[in-house]
Amino acid sequence: MRAILLGMPPVTCHLRYEIDPSALDAFERFAKRWIALVERSGGQHHGYFLPSEGASDVAYALFTFPSFAAYEQYRLGFGTDPDFLAADRIRKDSGCVLRYDRSFLRPVLDGDLKA
């Protein structure tokens, strides 16, 4: 990641979704669109994590951009890019997302047995 070489730390976005379990298929379509959009925009998507056992109304997503500035560049597509609008339309039309929280994390990626 070029930004790391320039001394800018990567930023990982963690999303926690409360979803409508009856609209899980729509949420999965929504997720697949956003994975492609993050990747197209220079980020690395680590996947969406859908309910399997336990709570059936919670899902997570993680993706990383080389820097917060790169993340902000990605965000410029919201509300203007036709592919972003189409992805968000899945959420709006299906009601699959009831609520979400977003937080930003700094990843630790290198192991060190002497740390």
Q: Is residue 17 part of a domain?
A: no
Of 16, 96, 104, which is closest to residue 58 (Cα–Cα)? 16
Total structural domains within the chain: 1
Q: Is residue 12 part of a domain?
A: no
> Domain range spanning residue 67?
23-100
Alpha carbons 15 and 35: distance in angstroms, whole number: 13
44-52 long-range contacts, Cβ below 8 Å, gap at least 24?
Answer: 46/12, 50/24, 51/19, 51/21, 51/24
pLDDT band for 82, please (50, 70, 90 cuts): very high
Task: Give the mean pLDDT of 9-23.
Answer: 95
Q: Which has more confidence, 9 or 44?
A: 44
In the chain, how long is the greatest CA-to-CA distance?
52
Q: Is residue 56 part of a domain?
A: yes
Q: Is residue 42 part of a domain?
A: yes
Alpha carbons 100 and 115: distance in angstroms, whole number: 35
What CATH number corresponds to the domain at position 75?
3.30.70
| 95 three-state secondary structure | coil
- Is the pLDDT reported for residue 77 higher than 90? no
